[in-house]
Amino acid sequence: MEQFKCIGVTGRQGRAEASDTLTRLLQFLGDRKLSVFLDERIDNLLPGHGLPVCQRTEMGERCDLVIVVGGDGSLLGAARDLVHYNVPVIGVNRGRLGFLTDICPSELETQLSEVLEGQYLEESRFLMEAQVKRDGTLIGEGSALNDVVLHPGKSTRIIEFELYIDGQFVYKQRSDGLIISTPTGSTAYALSGGGPIMHPTLDAIVLVPMFPHMLTNRPLVVDGNSELKLVISTNNDIYPQVSCDGQIHIGGAPGDQIIIRKKPEKLRAIHPLNHNFYEACRSKLRWNYQEYSR
């Protein structure tokens, strides 16, 4: 296994818990005499740290491991920025569920010691890219590790749109929108919309209708290499939005086309040796029925 010598550190801004964990992390890395670069976005959280500061693009070019301190949202943003550089990423959880940031802060030193010594698990996670086109002209684009969502924005009215998969017409739907999720995102927004949980190593995409007008519109799982096209009907009176990971938002209009496909680059996700997807589901989704059988 690869051993890491140059470490990039990024994370969530504005929370005291994250700052405390960042301080411990930098102390730990400093004690091991490793080269460390700090994301400029969190520079102000650690006054007087004395470390070189850089943008994530430079971090991707110079580091052989990036550690994200924060919640899943923090890792989603880092993944989109770093996927082009083939640098592995690992997360220390300072959020809520922490499906992606799976190192517990209380075990930070123990678990990271094993990772830095080459004892870890590595997974390949794919991202999607979305393009919004108007009259054939690109007006916006974004990437997503979790999901791409067509939704009505601030409106409460339903959206009418058509779905095509690999050029084949699938259906015309009237609903609050559509969640298009990777396996990584299947435990996030898609799950709350009634979608299936998919193992993160699957090469598949799930489409989850949001409150469809016809109850027979159910979640649909398709091949991960499929090209999806949504056409917003010209009959719509509202201007819906396309959101990527809930962090990038593109305004749409009647007649727009949204093209969604897998990105060619993949994220290298690092986990501690004791990482287990099903255990994560049991603990974070409370599948352990014994808790409720008393």
Please list the active-site residues: 72
- Count the neighbouring beta carbons within 10 Å of the beta carbon of residue 237: 8
Beta-strand relationship, 177-181 and 147-151: antiparallel
Taking the C-alpha atoms of 113, 117, 118 and 121 in order, what is their torsion angle to the nearest 10 degrees? Answer: -10
Which two structure tokens, joined as six digits, stand for 12?
């969530």
Within 13 Å of residue 278, how many CA atoms lie on the same side as its CB?
0
**Closest alpha carbon to 245 in 155, 144, 123:** 144
Q: Sign (positive/negative) of CA torsion 198, 201, 207, 208? A: positive
- Tell me the one-letter amino acid at 166: D
* H/E element, 139: strand 137-144
* H/E element, 167: none
The whole-angstrom separation of Cα 209 and Cα 93 is: 30
- Tell me the one-letter amino acid at 120: Y
Measured N-to-C along each axis, helices 108-116 and 16-31 cross at an angle, to the nearest 10 degrees, of 40
Residues 32 and 42 sit within 8 Å (Cβ to Cβ): no
253 three-class SS: coil
- Tell me the one-letter amino acid at 261: R
